[in-house]
Amino acid sequence: MSATKPVVAVLASVYAWTKARAFLLARAEKSGTRVGPEYLGWFTSWLLYRYSLLMGVRLASENTFTPSDDKKYLIVWHPHGFLAWTPVFLMCKEAVVGHPLGREWFGMVAPVLFKLPFWSDLFLFMNARGVTKPTVEALLRAGKEIAIQPGGVKEQLQTRHDQEVAVFPANLGFIRMAIKYQRHLLPVYFFGENQLYTKIEGLDGASDTLFKTTGLPIPALAGKFGLPFVGLLPRSGDIHVRWGNSIDPGPAEDEPSDSRVEEVFGRYLAEIQRIFDENAFNCLPPEVAAKGLLIKRVPGAGQLPRSKL
């Protein structure tokens, strides 16, 4: 009987932390507060950054962006990539230390990631929050600034190493949020993200089925040494971060018209295209840069099925 006590104690501890983590996340999502001290988020992100360097993936260059103290921003990042390596392993510290805005911000990620052991804790400490409409609106109402990837898993499952693509939801919810809460849209492009893995042809159906069943996107990818489905073993590569110019959404409006949303989106697209055109041939393989940036509007992009995990 005594031999089972350590096992029971471990299981009880895991259960207690799982419940505590869910409580902390729910409270943080409503109030826009940090989970844990800043040094814990910094240390966590430092570990991930060192692992990325060990894998041969480094932040090779980054341009500067100077924010205005009288403006609030909504960071929009591209591309999603196969696994969003750059946001998680290279840029994660930025949310905690507040780069480049000069104040902390929160990265929006798929809620299913908070069901993954170990990773859910890392995401919490590094200011990641689930990208649900209630959470996004709660953070914006609290005056916080966030980073979002508009294509979400729809873009993730369409990622290729030989074609840059930016997927946008048909209803442009991120534009509507920017207008409603008067957040200046700040685009940023991670050149080299899509080349950290290669696409395995012929397995899209399996990836789609897994996603629809579990809510967990698992792209058909090959990493280091050509090994399939090894997300933590990316190919070596340089990442080039390019911040764009911010886009003013105009005065706040709870229910902006479709025409106003499309006008703001048009200016946003023009800025993304400018970033790509001015940097692609310096930051991407020439054959990829020559194909240009493919823009897609996809119904349901950014919407997530309920996880069954």
The predicted-structure confidence for 152-177, as pLDDT tens digits, reads as follows 988 999 999 999 999 999 999 999 99
307 has a pLDDT exceeding 60? no
Determine, yes or no, domain membership for 230. Answer: yes
Determine, yes or no, domain membership for 130. Answer: yes
- Number of domains comprising the chain: 1
Confidence of residue 64 (pLDDT cuts 50, 70, 90): very high
Q: What SS3 state is found at 44?
A: helix
Determine, yes or no, domain membership for 309. Answer: no
Determine, yes or no, domain membership for 187. Answer: yes
Domain that holds residue 236: 2-298
Determine, yes or no, domain membership for 307. Answer: no
CB < 8 Å & 24+ apart, contacts of 289-294: 291/162, 291/163, 291/164, 292/164, 293/164, 293/165, 293/166, 294/163, 294/164, 294/165, 294/166
Determine, yes or no, domain membership for 306. Answer: no
The beta strand positions in the chain, using DSSP E, are 57-62, 73-78, 106-109, 128-130, 146-148, 164-169, 184-191, 198-199, 221-222, 237-243, 293-298
pTM over 0.85: yes
Determine, yes or no, domain membership for 43. Answer: yes
Determine, yes or no, domain membership for 42. Answer: yes
pLDDT for 35 equals 82
